[in-house]
Amino acid sequence: MRKKVLIIAGEASGDLHGAGLIRELKKINPEIVYSGVGGCRLKEEGVNILLGIERLAFMGFFEVLKNISHIRELKKKLLTFIAQEKPDLVILIDYPGFNLHFAKEVKKRNIPILYYISPQVWAWGKRRVKTISKLVDKMLVFFPFEEKLYVNAGVNVTLMGHPLLDLVHPSVSNLEFRNRLQLDEKDILIGLLPGSRWQEIKNILPAMINSCRILKESLQGIKVVIALAPGIDKQELNLFLKKLDSQALLLENSTYDLMSHSDFLLVASGTATLESAISGTPMIILYKTGLLTYLLARFFIKVPYIGLVNIIAGEKIVPEFIQYQINPEKIAEKIVKILADDNEYVRIKSRLNEVKERLGEKGAYRKGAETVNKILL
């Protein structure tokens, strides 16, 4: 009989990495049937999408509370699916606010659980590690320090390495890309990556735009390009930019080209900071959420930095502007300082390359797929 897998990805990065995992699984075992929660990438890999991630694009304590009825509806729908289809394996991808609660219900039904992409337990303290050790049959992780953490907690864990090493590379040369954007040789390209959720974009993009507006007063030839994240409606974002009176160009389906060929990046905290690090482009990380959510996060979060690139480095190798620190004048001043200092610019690029080297070897999706297939055999 064909094996059935239920997969749950609640955001764009989970959709991306879930699709990569399934793509490799299909090569090893093409008979597996997939259903679950995800986005366009999982759908492209043949997953029967029970609910799209666009309906789950919220973050923060109080934002979750506002959407609690919707979350309960999703949980009920998935449990009904489990009762009817009886999947052989449930794959949970990050998204711990929902997935760890849902895992308790799955555990009651004696269905194996594989957690793919660890929640940031190293940021939130050890309570979630204990929860995971009781609920999860297999954990697949990206970072060596995550493997050590779970081994110490008695969790069955496998280190995959980071799949972004296989994914992050430009599709065209620097010259081709700049010609496509009609840039002059001396133009300074500033890439903006404001996030993959509307909540993030509305909080962060105005500050990014204003920073670049101020930057243009100090430096000549500044060109600003915004990467359109999957799942964000282009027309809606253009309307938002019009309200901001922004002349920035909106770029679709070329995020890694923008990361690799920009002179500098402004990046919302998240996976994009690591992608930018692999691209080797100096950046500033921005993070802003609702005030009450931020205050609660400050109480619970146990790491000194918000950006993955700084967490992996163990020190602040790129600047971070968090919540009330987000000030367009100061951000623009910091960009000018870095761009004007060749030694500092080269130093940041060198440190970003060190972070890239810490991510291990390529082939993470394949290694993860082999692990999943062994569980299903």
**How do residues 236-294 score in pLDDT, each as one tens digit?**
999 999 988 888 999 999 999 999 999 999 999 888 999 999 999 999 999 987 666 65
pLDDT cut 90: percent of the chain above it: 65
pTM to 2 decimals? 0.80
Q: Is the pLDDT of residue 19 over 90?
A: yes
- Whole-number pLDDT of residue 95: 84
Q: What is the mean pLDDT of residues 158-173?
A: 93
Q: What integer best gives the mean pLDDT of the chain? A: 89
**What residues pair up with 113 in beta bridges, in sequence order?**
90
Report pLDDT digits (tens) over 198-248.
Answer: 888 999 999 999 999 999 999 999 999 999 988 788 999 999 999 888 889
List the domains of the chain with CATH numbers.
4-162+361-376 (3.40.50.2000), 174-357 (3.40.50.2000)
- Whole-number pLDDT of residue 297: 60
- Whole-number pLDDT of residue 62: 47
In this structure, the chain runs to a length of 377
Q: Using an 8 Å Cβ cutoff, are 107 and 82 in contact?
A: no
- Whole-number pLDDT of residue 144: 84
Q: Which range among 114-128, 148-162, 220-234, 363-377 shows the weakest confidence by mean pLDDT?
A: 114-128
CA distance 75 to 370: 29
Q: Using an 8 Å Cβ cutoff, are 376 and 89 in contact?
A: yes
Report pLDDT digits (tens) over 91-133.
Answer: 999 888 789 889 999 999 999 999 998 887 655 556 778 889 9
Report pLDDT digits (tens) over 62-89.
Answer: 455 555 666 788 889 999 999 999 999 9
Number of neighbouring beta carbons within 10 Å of residue 118: 24
pLDDT cut 70: percent of the chain above it: 90
Spell out the residues 6+ positions from residue 325 whose beta carbon is closer than 8 angstroms to its own.
none
